[in-house]
């Protein structure tokens, strides 16, 4: 499952960060998961619960931001909110617009507790 491997890689990053900061608890973690990142949220939450059980992230508050998909027209330069990677420009109809955000999949913030 795609989402489980995402959770696993987040956990790896968090564990590294905890070692670096010599913390053994994580208060909260904030993620950016873009609207068109391809992550299935239901599957992600399921993977998160399963993957973080009995781990350092078991009691961590999970906050998820969903940046909207923004596209920029390569012809007229208009930026607009897209529903998918293949939306045409609402201004001039150009079907080849470039996605400038919404595909994010990153850890925005990790708050650790130092004992």
What are the structure tokens assigned to 53, written together?
A: 């059980």
What are the structure tokens assigned to 73, written together?
A: 């027209």
Q: How far apart are CA 20 and CA 87, in angstroms?
A: 43
Question: Footprint of Zn ion on residues 81-100 (CB under 5 A)?
Answer: 89, 91-92, 94
User: Which one, 9 or 74, has the nearer CB to Zn ion?
Assistant: 74
User: Which one, 85 or 94, has the nearer CB to Zn ion?
Assistant: 94
Residues in CB range of 91: below 8 A, 6 or more apart: 73, 76, 78, 80
Q: How far apart are CA 52 and CA 11, in angstroms?
A: 8
Q: Quick count: other Cβ atoms within 10 Å of Cβ 49?
A: 12
User: Which one, 50 or 76, has the nearer CB to Zn ion?
Assistant: 76
Instruction: For residue 58, give the DSSP letter.
Output: T
Among 8, 50, 75, 100, binds Zn ion (CB under 5 A): 75
Among 76, 86, 96, 108, binds Zn ion (CB under 5 A): 76
Interface with Zn ion by CB under 5 A: which range of 21-29, 37-45, 56-64, 67-75? 67-75
The residues that touch Zn ion, with contacts defined as CB under 5 A, are: 73, 75-76, 78, 89, 91-92, 94
């Amino acid at each position: 499952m795609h989402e489980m491997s995402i959770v696993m890689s987040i956990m790896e990053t968090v564990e590294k960060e905890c070692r670096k900061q010599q913390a053994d608890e994580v208060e909260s973690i904030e993620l950016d998961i873009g609207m068109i990142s391809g992550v299935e949220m239901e599957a992600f939450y399921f993977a998160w619960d399963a993957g973080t059980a009995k781990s350092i992230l078991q009691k961590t508050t999970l906050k998820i931001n969903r940046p909207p998909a923004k596209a920029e027209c390569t012809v007229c330069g208009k930026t607009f909110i897209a529903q998918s990677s293949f939306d045409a420009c609402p201004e001039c109809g150009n079907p080849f617009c470039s996605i400038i955000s919404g595909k994010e999949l990153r850890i925005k913030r990790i708050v650790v507790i130092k004992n």
